[in-house]
Amino acid sequence: MTWLSAKLKKSASIVLATTLIAGLAAGCSNSDNGKGGSATPSAETSPSASPSPSSAGSSGDKITIRFAYNWTGADPKASYFEGKLKEYEAKHPEISFKFEATPGEEHRTKIKVDTTAGNLPDIFTYWLGPVNLKPLVDANEILEMDEYLSKSGTVKKEQYTDIAWSFFDIGGKKYGLPLEAFKGFFMANRELFQKYNLEYPKTYAELTNVAKVFNDNGIVPFSMGSKNGQPSHLFFSYLAYQFQNGFDDAQKIPQTYQYDTDAVRKAAQAVAQMKADGIFPSDTVANGDWGPQLSLYNEEKAAMVYEFPWMIGNVKQEIVDKTDLIDFPALEGSVVDPSSYTIGAVAMGLLINRKSFEDPAKQQALVDFADFINSDEVLGEVAKGGLFPAKQMELDPSTLSPLYAKAMEFTKNQNVWPHHESYVPDSNAYSVILSSLDELFAGFVSPEDYVSKTQKALDKAK
């Protein structure tokens, strides 16, 4: 019997090994379970279906459309936008939607990883400028918008200004549909200023006086941090444009690759001076990035802040009531009136995967979906969460946040000048600019070293 039980054991072992191999094969096969596919660092959420690891293609008779976006999570626009997505999904049972939501800047990384893996979503939101779009254009991954517009039932070129289109222009062709515009605005806590008998500063000297009083009372004068260049890169451009040829030089960067200009040097020196004068929080890294920067202002630990529409929904209502929009003071040596312009551009556009568009089974569904995203209905709804639509359209003021209306009114007559990201053509160079801004704001590098370092990165990219 011993040899029989040994034989039985061997057979059982063979069966077990075969089962393990079969299980392994099943586990490694392409399936719709869980989060296979794109290796994004942040969690993916979805209004309904789980993200699919497969790219283009249909499942059965249904068309599958993968849409990636970043108005999700803590973004105030999320609930409005994702609510609309759910509605559209419910109305189109013939389409299997895979919504891939990745918050904030991580969405940019997700799209890059997807692109590298040959797994670009069918349609996705993305940022402006050659630094973001040129690699996708060079690889022939994204659709030229004229092709979409020729098929669209509702979206017309004339609904957007030439300036809005220009942010998605690569080599004379447009590769994104402008979606979200933005304009910066400076906010001041009226009650804090009144408490210490201070006036809103108009000059740098007044700013330093105001700063001294606030610092003596444990209040940060101006909440501006820098973590991976957020949000300092926008403020830095604002400072640079106060100086002679600041904006003109920025516009020429795609041709000249010249970041080291008189205006940029002066802006860097202004940042160092402001840090020395205690204008910023003492820890610009810990207070860097959008959330921590606004948090200081929301908690009334900072008197002023530089904000943008995507943060409007995060400003506490009681703080909105105490907030006035002001002009930033003119810096010493500046020639441009700081009240005459604001930093602004089109922040995000809608891009379409060229291969997906050329799939006859998907084309109409993609066109219809893109039309839906750009409809007045959706943009008007998302405006409640702070979206400034890039499309020229009327918004119902009664549905908008009071701060939104204030910001629109305050900036309506200002020139809208895009920040440097719109012009820098190389992603590595721009990455150096952003990380070096952290060093400049933290006082790790001198203004001269900041400019020299960033210029070297651009020279390398030439």
Partner 1 sequence: MRRKHDAVFYGGFVLPAVIVYTLFMIYPVAMSAGYSLTEWNGVTAKTFVGLGNYQELIADGDYWQVVRNTGQLIAYSLIFQVGAGLAIAYLLAKVMHGFRFFRSVIFIPVIISPVAIGLMFSLFYNSDTGPLNHLLDSLSLSSWKRQWLSDPHTVLKAVMAPQIWQYIGLYVVIFLAAIQQVPEELVESARMDGAGPSRTFFNVVMPQIWDVFQVCVILAVTGSLKSFDHAWVITSGGPGNASSFIALQMFKTAFISNQIGYGSAMTITILAYAALFTMLFKRICARLYN
Which residues form the interface with partner 1 (CB under 8 A)? Answer: 10, 13-14, 17-18, 20-21, 24, 28, 109, 112-113, 115-116, 135-136, 138-139, 141, 220, 226-228, 281-287, 292, 295-296, 299, 301, 427-428, 431, 435-436, 438-439, 441-445
Q: Please, what is the minimum distance in Å from the beta carbon of residue 23 to partner 1?
A: 8
As given in the structure block, the two tokens for residue 113 are 């990883």
* Sequence-ordered list of residues with C-beta below 8 angstroms from that of 42, at least 6 positions apart, any chain: 102, 103, 106, 110
Q: Please, what is the minimum distance in Å from the beta carbon of residue 311 to partner 1?
A: 18
Is 62:54 a contact under the CB 8 Å cutoff?
Answer: no
The residue assigned the tokens 């990035």 is 289
C-beta closer to partner 1: residue 276 or 335: 276
Q: Please, what is the minimum distance in Å from the beta carbon of residue 435 to partner 1?
A: 6
C-beta closer to partner 1: residue 397 or 443: 443
Measured CA to CA, the distance from residue 137 to residue 306 in angstroms comes to: 33
C-beta closer to partner 1: residue 47 or 425: 425
Query: What do you get for the CA distance between the two ends of the chain, in Å?
Result: 81
Q: Please, what is the minimum distance in Å from the beta carbon of residue 427 to partner 1?
A: 4
CB atoms within 10 A of CB 445: 19
> Per residue, what are the HEC states of 149-179?
HHHCCCCCHHHCCHHHHHCCEECCEECCEEE
> Strand 173-174 to strand 169-170: parallel, antiparallel, or no bridges (unpaired)?
antiparallel
The residue assigned the tokens 């895979």 is 98
As given in the structure block, the two tokens for residue 205 are 């000297």
* Sequence-ordered list of residues with C-beta below 8 angstroms from that of 303, at least 6 positions apart, any chain: 188, 189, 192, 193, 210, 214, 219, 220, 221, 222
Q: Please, what is the minimum distance in Å from the beta carbon of residue 378 to partner 1?
A: 29
C-beta closer to partner 1: residue 155 or 304: 304
C-beta closer to partner 1: residue 314 or 431: 431
C-beta closer to partner 1: residue 43 or 361: 43
Q: Please, what is the minimum distance in Å from the beta carbon of residue 430 to partner 1?
A: 8
Q: Please, what is the minimum distance in Å from the beta carbon of residue 294 to partner 1?
A: 13
C-beta closer to partner 1: residue 65 or 220: 220
Q: Is residue 221 within a helix (H) or strand (E), and if so which, with residue range?
A: strand 220-223
